[in-house]
Amino acid sequence: MATRGFTGRRPPPGERERLPPGQYLTADFPVLSAGPTPQIAPEKWTFTLKDGPRPVKTWDWAAFNALPRSKLTRDIHCVTKWSKFDTHWEGVLVDDILADAGLVAPTPFVLAHSFDGYSTNVPYSDLSEGKAMVATTFGGQPLHPEHGGPARLLVPHLYFWKSAKWVNGLQFTAVDTAGFWELRGYHIYGDPWREQRFTGD
């Protein structure tokens, strides 16, 4: 259905093919959070890897930052319609977290947890083989609390609510377990290229 009088502002070639359907490009870095921004001091920060209810390993800030570090430059896409190109991140790949814990993925499903009680589910196959990290810097600077600092999950190929801010753990689950937004109408997987915004998309 064409909207009377709407011509739109098309992205130029070069941007167009990098924008998933329904998205627009922004140079800003908008913030979407369900509550106040938690202020987490590094000395209070921990990250725990769990197999079901069982903790496999917990790192403090110093131990976590001593893990092998990697860089990713990726386009990111928020379900609220904005996309941002070429974002620069540094942190620890999920592969390297599991390797340090000596854990081989026990199930295909992961639930990421955050300091503020937030959670989101991501299949392990979307976290492995260099596809995802726990990021501690953005644009070469320590990650700002508004954007999830000290550390956030980065799963850039899925809608950005999957990249949990203030992340404090990854938990393997026996079944795919819906997280905070997935329980509230958002898509269980969230592929921007298939425009999986909401349940049933």
146 with 165: CB under 8 angstroms?
no
**Nearer CB in complex with another protein: 16/54:** 16
Q: Which amino acid is at 23?
A: Q
Shortest distance, CB of residue 82 to another protein, whole angstroms?
6
Eight-class DSSP state of 8: -
Q: Phi, psi (5° rounding) for residue 64?
A: -65, -40
Query: Which residues lie near another protein (CB under 8 A)?
Result: 1-10, 21-22, 24, 28, 30-38, 78, 80-82, 116-117, 146, 183-185, 198-201
Burial of 176: CB neighbours in 10 Å, binned 0-12, 13-18, 19+: middle
Give the nearer residue to another protein in terms of CB position, either 82 or 89.
82
* Smallest distance from another protein to CB 24, Å: 7
Q: Using CA atoms, how far apart are residues 43 and 200, in angstroms rounded to an integer?
A: 42
- Minimum CB distance to another protein, residue 34 (Å): 6
Query: Cβ 177 to another protein, closest distance in Å?
Result: 14
Evaluate whether 62 touches 45 at the Cβ level (below 8 Å): no
- Which one, 123 or 145, has the nearer CB to another protein? 145
Nearer to another protein, 24 or 130 (CB): 24
